[in-house]
Amino acid sequence: MRTMTSSPENKITRSDLVKSAVNVGALGMEFSWTYYKQMNIAFCLMVANMLKKIYAGRPDDYAEALHRHCAFFNITVQFAPFVGGIAMAMEEKVARGEIEPESVNDVKAALMGPLSGIGDSIFLSTLRVVAAAVGISLCQAGNPFGPIAFLL
């Protein structure tokens, strides 16, 4: 097993990731959807504060990174924070000069399809059918929470 003697300091904390995921991540992705680049505006908003931390004191690099994340982005909204976390881990490496900036969007693009396929099947198909089944059975039993479960 290999041990590292020194590791570069990460600027992004777990708290930053949770804040971005809750504030904009899965909640705000649909609000800024456009036909041109789909969810790119919400993704930029989700990562903007973390990019400021990564590129503190380097406004040109910050602007370049923000522009880089304005590319086309479309995914099942529940998985957007995961892609954002991976992208920010890669941005830290870009800021240290360890990887090329283009690889960040390459990984984002590579994750969009498979995660959307999984996410759409789970969140847009399976959970709706299960919620409808629970709601219908509650309605048949005369429970007032049946319509609420059905609408989930």
Q: Is 32 or 104 the better-scoring residue by pLDDT?
A: 104
Give me the amino acid identity at 88: M
d(CA 91, CA 94): 5
Find, among 54, 46, 38, the residue nearest to 90 by Cα: 54
The mean pLDDT value for 62-77 works out to: 92
Q: What is the mean pLDDT of the chain?
A: 86
Q: What is the pLDDT of residues 11-53, one digit of tens each?
A: 888 888 888 777 765 566 777 777 888 888 889 988 999 999 9
The mean pLDDT value for 55-71 works out to: 94
pLDDT of residue 5: 40
| Residue 10 reports pLDDT greater than 90 | no
99: DSSP letter: S
